[in-house]
Amino acid sequence: MHRTLPVLLLALVPALGFAQSTSQLSATDAARALAQEAVIVDTHIDAPGMLTDRWMDLGSDAPGREFDYPKARAGGLDVGFMSIYTSAKQDEDGVAWQAANEMIDSVEALVQRHPDRFALLHSPGDVERLRQGGRVLLPLGMENGAPIGDDLANLQFFFDRGVRYITLAHSAANRIADSSYAIERKWNGLSPFGRQVVAEMNRLGIMVDVSHVSDEAARQAIELSTVPVIASHSAFRHFTPDFERNISDELAKAIAAKGGVVQIPFGTAFVDPRGAADTQAHFRAINDFNQRNAELRAAGKPDLDRETFNREWSQAHPAPQTPIEAVLDQIDYAVQLIGVDHVGIGSDFDGVDGELADGLRTVADFPNLISGLQARGHSDADIRKILGGNLLRTWAAIEAGAR
């Protein structure tokens, strides 16, 4: 069971009406109306990787997918950052550049097939114009800076292709920064090249994203940046002790002090302590598995089978069933800690194998989140900020800083 709210928040429960359980509620008419009227921005949807694995037309109903046009419109989603994700393995194999460009191509193809339903988004100033007619707007966020390689000029290349934030690293250290998941700390934060990357991102107007990186890398990036930074999909470590992938209170306050935002994900691996513990253990087990295979190869013996390892791990560690309250608690805590102007949403839809909080299973479910926030006493004005207003303000400040 997820942790209860901190003492300070619990003191507010009677006054704000937090006592009512929201997991048993269906979205109210008021919540559905606000979902359609407000600008909803989700900073992390992993649809592009799935498109390149197996093409499916997301302009129509796409069974089994968490993002498609009908679901987006049902939920009121206006802006969905498409995650251009590359793995540490792709980086190691030298194919991250190719994979990133293929994913960008797939998003462009989707928009070209349905210009009445989708539009690429390159600037927050274009949101109101482009969303007219019910379009869902698709900016790009690069998850893992690996495709940049060791050439700063590639930042300009990907900016020109539409990338508007870059998660500096992912599950392992790259040329830019250390990862929160990796045991090894190659750079003790940012590499010398990574410091140049942050400066060039500031110059171009690409948002610096500190989700996934080590605490020290995040701290250095926040200090070095001349404009606000974001955490595109990071829950709060307060609820998941020792899980560095989630953001610490100290770093969240530093992001807010710089004018940035922390975007809350919906995945059980982030918002449920049981899921977080399993995720942390999984990465440690992978590290041990890789070390064992290295020893076997050195001894001239065959590797252990990765598919067998993955299957056995999944069977032994089923995802916990997590109520929507776990996400609402994260948002409440964030609002209390860093202020309502610095909180947003970055779901991780299509990126966590369906391991999501109850009531937040697809982009059609944003009214459930809104209904839960309303039931907990948040004003509609504040909910609008959380849904997208804060991210758009931050993005605009970063864009202005580049100019």
Contact at 8 Å (CB) between 395 and 259? Answer: no
DSSP single-letter state for residue 115? T
Give me the mean pLDDT over the 2-31 stretch: 48
CA angle 92, 98, 104 (to 5 degrees): 125
Q: Which domains does the chain have, with CATH numbers?
A: 7-272+320-402 (3.20.20.140)
Percent pLDDT > 90 in the chain is 79
3-state secondary structure of 143: strand
Q: How much is the average pLDDT of 40-61? A: 94
In this structure, the strands spanning 118-120 and 136-138 are: parallel
Kind of pairing, strands 261-264 and 230-231?
parallel
The band of 304, judged by pLDDT with boundaries at 50, 70 and 90, is confident
Give pLDDT, residue 24: 45
CA dist., res. 84 & res. 65, Å (int): 17
Cα 80 to Cα 306: distance, rounded to the nearest angstrom: 33
CA distances from 248 to 131, 176, 337 (A): 35, 21, 11
- Residue of 115, 121, 350, 332 whose CA lies nearest to 238: 332
pLDDT-derived band at 185, boundaries 50, 70, 90 = very high
Tell me which of 135-139, 285-289, 340-344 is least confident. Answer: 285-289
Q: What is the share, in percent, of the chain residues with pLDDT greater than 70?
A: 94
Confidence of residue 77 (pLDDT cuts 50, 70, 90): very high
Return the amino acid letter for 60.
S
Q: What is the pLDDT of residues 359-385, one digit of tens each?
A: 999 999 999 999 999 999 999 999 999
Distance CA 70, CA 189 (A): 42
Q: How far apart are CA 11 and CA 92, in angstroms?
A: 50
Taking all residues of the chain, what is their mean pLDDT, rounded to a whole number? 92
> Residue 30 — pLDDT band, cuts 50, 70, 90?
very high
Give one DSSP letter per residue of 236-299, joined into a string: BGGGSTT-TTSBPHHHHHHHHHTT-EEEEP-BHHHHSHHHHHHHHHHHHHHHHHHHHHHHHHHT
Res. 285: pLDDT tops 60:
yes
Burial degree of 291 (CB within 10 A; 0-12, 13-18, 19+)? exposed
Q: What is the pLDDT of residues 199-246, one digit of tens each?
A: 999 999 999 999 999 999 999 999 999 999 999 999 999 999 999 999
pLDDT for 98 beyond 80? yes
Q: Which residue has the higher pLDDT, 314 or 129?
A: 129
Euclidean distance between CA atoms 55 and 254, whole angstroms: 40
Between 277 and 159, where is the model more confident? Answer: 159
pLDDT at residue 19, rounded to an integer: 34
CB 254 within 8 A of CB 219: yes
Confidence grade of residue 25 (pLDDT, cut at 50, 70, 90)? low
- Residue 162 is predicted with a pLDDT of 98
